Every structure is written in structure tokens, then in C-alpha cells.
Chains A and B, each alone.
Chain A
């Protein structure tokens, strides 16, 4: 438009100025047998993951990462050779987007809030967030467990799926924003509503819209108009109560709280009405 559409070249915001991993380990990492402590304060996204991978390959299985402020994909590159056992990563305090994306069996503990895309397309493992999390938590998760102490943002558990023994679980202590469980195709979502006042409904609208598999357990109240048209409301049966109790206890193990008190609350169960919500919209 201004005749200025000239060559500008390309600036790599992600891969530019990445320091060699050995240098980073020497400067910012204390490696002591199976334990490692990484100071990520001055590290870029890729640098943190370079270091994580390297210390894991050198045998660390309990890794603490300090001074994390928004670095992405923590845990994603830990695709380790078979002989390595899963590692435990403690993050202090604020990891960036796509925490534990594609995670393969490791455990991640966050002492702080997490952002968008926690456990995105995760395969297996466990993510425990001592705080809240942003949008699309546990998106397309196909295995493993995600525990969020407080609230989650939009579109949590969107398109979560299950297959045989792979049964993903998302447990949220607080409430969620809209489109919880959208397109959900399998797995278990639990929303405990612990930070809501008595009789205050959950904050999400369009819960379970397009849901065609899996189950959502909701503690607390929710109005009919908050639910997507593809879900039905049921009461819990004994098998449900057992599942709920299991994960509420797990939740309390991670974050404290009285499991029995929580279990006294009113739970409902949301199920898809059809495995084929869109089977009838076409003219053949």
C-alpha cells in the first residue's frame, strides 16, 4: 500500500541466539546424581528444554526448575530411550504455554499458576498445578492425569479421548470457563467447584457441547442452559461414586483438603446423549 513492501528478511524469534547446552548446564545447573536443579531465569524456551533433556539423559530423574517465567513446552522433548525411567519435574513458578505437551509418562508439578495448553495432546504421565491454569487445559489428551488446584479457563478437556486402557483424567478444584469438555470423546473430567459459594452455579456455558464420549462429574450446581445440547444429566451410581471418591482423594493428597467433606457435596454426571451427535445433519 505504501510502496514499502520490500525485502525484510527473517528474524527468528524462537531459535535466535540459543546458547550451547553444555554452557547452560555449566552456568545454570546443579547436577547431583539423580537430582538436578536448573535456574531458568535467563533461559529461552528452547534452552530450558535443551537443558532438561540433557540432564535427563545424564541420569537426573528429579529435576527442579527455578525462576520459570513463561517458558513453553516444558517436558515435551523428554522422549527418552526406553531404559530411562520417567522423571519428576518441579517447576517454580510460572511455566508458559503448552506445559507438558505430548508428555510421555513424566510427572510435572507446578508451584504456581500455569497458562494455556497444559497437557496439550498428552500421552501419559501426570501434571499437578498448585494454582490455576489458562485455556485449553488437557486439550486432546489421550492418557495421563492432570490436576489443577484452582480454576481453568476456556475449552478445558476439549476433544479429550480414550482408548482401551488409556483413560485420561482431568480434575479441577475450582470452576471453569465456557466450552468445558467441548467435542469430548472420552476420559473423565471432574469439576469440584471448591471455591464457589453455596449454591453459586459454575461459571461455564456450553458445557459438553458436541460431547460424544467420556464423562464429566460436576460438584455443585449448574443451570440447564449452561449445558450443551449434546449432554444429558444423570445421578451418580455406585461405580461413579467410586471413581469420584478415588480422584477426590488423589486431589486432596496433592493439594490438601478434606476428601470426605468434599464428597458430601452434590455431584451430577454429564453424559453424551449420542455417540454420533452429528449423524443426522446430512442429506445423503
Chain B
């Protein structure tokens, strides 16, 4: 069971954050790893889409030597060492910690109020009554527990062989701070530049959002946040960070990991076709889409959004159903790009072979060893 934090009334639930942003993602569909320069330079090209109040990266395939272990990235706000002691006691009780270290940072980069950021490679240490619980579920529960119960401590990355690095600053500063380009190689990089309209100066509020190996970067504001959040709480996802992006991450986990739905269906839950369009479909589709909309109505993500969702071997770009936020996809050889602006892809890959923009609600699905991303080209412009 996941943990829910108790509020006396909905009145006391903090407001969600809203932000708008620049997004970029790049994946090598052969799984070859590469450094961060493309992601960093592309997001730098879109600097005016952010306001320097949040930037972050997700990297897949960066911990090959520990890829069997969950890599927990935990930030301790206010340099709260007591929180760290409490977290470590908890980890010791529930996990085997095979290695831990402070995530190396560049002392020459001055950022706003940096927390202590630590990483732990762990394996579940299950009590006998927990044996039946799958590892992933076990880890999610513990992560939720820490995030809701230990003040000043936030687990912001919890997957295997995936790492999120984020903070307050322009993304290129975050990259410098964590020395991403020097220290890490991955086969997927997603990056986010944040322009919040709420709570600046909060490292946990930066994107990407992560649970297990799922990461989400998001641009826009989800007007259905309250509906989505209450539905997810019913399924024991508790939104600790109060940003609308968080509901996306949990919804993806619920639908894709727990309920095993493919992204092609999940994208139609988040951004369903209009009833008008459903009317035009053949009987089979009509039945399917009607059922999807009825069943998953509380997970319709209303309002403007573009997201790049990633997990191992897959990177997905999706916009809301009337495309109120931009996305452009591009490809060259084994590299596939997703970005808020085409020019930023061109800036890091001047000899791009193809660029396309899918219609609203149509996902671009980039899969390992496949050309699935090109399926969206036909419907695109």
C-alpha cells in the first residue's frame, strides 16, 4: 500500500504549481550511448522558454555497473542532516544499500540554495510478509513513504539504470553543476527548462518527474489537475510535489506499469478524440474509444500540454488533443529527437533527415530497435 498524507480538508492541500517550458528529448534507437551535449545545447537554444527557475535532465543507461539496482537520488533540503539520518535508517531497514555517495557537483557553479543530493544503489530487503509484493511495487511504496513522511527529504529519482538530475537554474547550469556532459552517457536524454508561475526556488519542483524508470517532462498547465489527482489518490498515488506534471507521471505508472496498457492506448486516454470524431469511426473503434472515454474520464488531461515521457527502451512525445502546446519530432540515422521548437533540433543536428509535427493527441513513440516513430509521420505535417 502506498501512503496517503492526511489533510483535514481539501482546503489545505497546497495549490498545484503551473509551469510552461521548453522540452527536448533525444534517443538512440540502437541503444548506443552518448553524452549530454545535444540535450544541453538544444535546451540552451530555447533559453527564452524558461526563466531560470528550474531545469533538469533524465538520462537512461547511465549506471551500467549498477543496472540491477534501484538508483535512488535523494535531495535533502536546507542541508537537513537529520532528514538524511532518518532516510538512511529507513533505507537500512527496507533495502540492501550496495553503494552510496554524494552526487558529484561542480564547485565552480553557484546555484540557488542547493540541497545535499545523494545517491543510493539499493535492492529491496523484503520481510517475509512482503515476499509476494513485486519489487517495483515495493520500491514505489517506500519512495512514497519517504516523500510524505520525512520533511526536507525528497526521492526524485528511483529507477534502475536511470537518473534524474534537476534543480533551480537554467538547465545548462544544472548540467554544469552536476557535470552531466563529463560524467554520464546514456541512450535517452530528456531535458526541461522551466518557467513556473508558482513557487520558485524549490528544487523538487523542477522537471523531470520520476517514479521507477518512468520520467516525464511537461510543458503546459493541466486544467483537470484536481480531477486527475483525486482519481489517482483513489489508486494510492499521493501527489507530494503538487505540480500538474506529477499526476502525469503517476497516471503513466498506473496505466502502463500496473495495468499494462500500451502507450498508443494511454495517449488516447490522456488526449482522447472528440466525441464528434468518435462518431466518424467504424463500429469497432467507436466501441473502443467510447469505452476508453467512459472508463478513464478522470484521466483525461485537459488544458494545454506537451509531454515527453520516457522509460527504458521507449520515449514518447504527446500533446493535448487540440495541440495547444508545440512539439516537433526529427530523425537522423538512429537518433530521434523531440522538441518544443524545430530550430533547437536543427541547432544540434544540422543535417537532420526529417522533421515532422504530429496532430494533437497523436503520440510519437520512439522504440528501441524499431522505426515506430515514423508511424506518426503520415498523419503529421
Query: Residues of A with Cβ closer than 8 Å to B?
Result: 1-2, 4-8, 11, 13-14, 45, 68-70, 72, 93-97, 112-113, 115-116, 132, 134-135, 150-154, 174-179, 203, 205, 225
Which one of B276, B343, B359, B381 lies within 8 Å of A115 (CB-CB)? B343
- Find out whether the CB atom of A2 lies under 8 angstroms from the CB atom of B77: yes
Besides A113-B355, A132-B381, 5 other CB < 8 A contacts? A4-B202, A5-B200, A6-B113, A14-B48, A179-B322
A94 to B276, CA, bound (A): 37
A178 to B273, CA, bound (A): 13
- Find out whether the CB atom of A11 lies under 8 angstroms from the CB atom of B201: no
A132 to B357, CA, bound (A): 10
Q: How far is the CB of A246 from chain B (nearest CB, A)?
A: 25
- CB-nearest residue of chain B relative to A41? B347
Answer whether residue B257 sits at the interface, using C-beta atoms and an 8 A cutoff.
Answer: no
- Find out whether the CB atom of A1 lies under 8 angstroms from the CB atom of B323: no
A113 to B343, CA, bound (A): 8
- Find out whether the CB atom of A70 lies under 8 angstroms from the CB atom of B50: no
Which one of A70, A94, A134, A135 lies within 8 Å of B46 (CB-CB)? A70
Q: How far is the CB of A176 from chain B (nearest CB, A)?
A: 7
Answer whether residue B332 sits at the interface, using C-beta atoms and an 8 A cutoff.
Answer: no
Query: Residues of B with Cβ closer than 8 Å to A?
Result: 14, 45-48, 50-53, 77-78, 112-113, 152, 168, 170, 199-202, 204, 242, 276-277, 280, 322-323, 326, 328, 341-344, 346-347, 355, 357, 359-360, 379, 381
A154 to B242, CA, bound (A): 31
Which one of B48, B168, B277, B342 lies within 8 Å of A134 (CB-CB)? B342
User: Using Cβ atoms and an 8 Å threshold, which residues of chain A touch B341?
Assistant: 70, 96-97, 115
User: Using Cβ atoms and an 8 Å threshold, which residues of chain B touch A112?
Assistant: 346
Q: How far is the CB of A153 from chain B (nearest CB, A)?
A: 6
User: Using Cβ atoms and an 8 Å threshold, which residues of chain B touch A113?
Assistant: 342, 355
Q: How far is the CB of A62 from chain B (nearest CB, A)?
A: 24
- CB-nearest residue of chain B relative to A95? B343
Most interface-central of B113, B202, B343, B381 (chain A CB within 10 A): B381
- CB-nearest residue of chain B relative to A96? B343
Which one of B47, B78, B360, B379 lies within 8 Å of A154 (CB-CB)? B360
A140 to B241, CA, bound (A): 39
6 interchain pairs (CB within 8 A)?
A8-B200, A68-B343, A69-B344, A94-B343, A134-B328, A177-B360
Given contacts A94-B343, A132-B381, A135-B323, contact A203 B359 (CB under 8 A): yes
User: Using Cβ atoms and an 8 Å threshold, which residues of chain B touch A8?
Assistant: 53, 112, 168, 200-201
User: Using Cβ atoms and an 8 Å threshold, which residues of chain A touch B322?
Assistant: 154, 178-179
- CB-nearest residue of chain A relative to B169? A11
Q: How far is the CB of A196 from chain B (nearest CB, A)?
A: 11
User: Using Cβ atoms and an 8 Å threshold, which residues of chain B touch A2?
Assistant: 77, 152, 202, 204
Which one of B113, B168, B277, B381 lies within 8 Å of A205 (CB-CB)? B277
- CB-nearest residue of chain B relative to A131? B355
- CB-nearest residue of chain A relative to B321? A178
- Find out whether the CB atom of A135 lies under 8 angstroms from the CB atom of B347: no
A15 to B119, CA, bound (A): 37
Which one of A1, A45, A179 lies within 8 Å of B14 (CB-CB)? A1
- Find out whether the CB atom of B346 lies under 8 angstroms from the CB atom of A225: no
Which one of A95, A175, A178 lies within 8 Å of B360 (CB-CB)? A178
Which one of B51, B201, B342 lies within 8 Å of A13 (CB-CB)? B51
- CB-nearest residue of chain A relative to B357? A153
A170 to B381, CA, bound (A): 17
- Find out whether the CB atom of B343 lies under 8 angstroms from the CB atom of A11: no
Top 6 A-B residue pairs of the complex, sorted by shortest distance between their CB atoms? A70-B343, A151-B381, A11-B52, A69-B347, A1-B14, A94-B343
User: Using Cβ atoms and an 8 Å threshold, which residues of chain A touch B51?
Assistant: 11, 13
- CB-nearest residue of chain B relative to A200? B378
- Find out whether the CB atom of A154 lies under 8 angstroms from the CB atom of B346: no
User: Using Cβ atoms and an 8 Å threshold, which residues of chain A touch B200?
Assistant: 5, 8
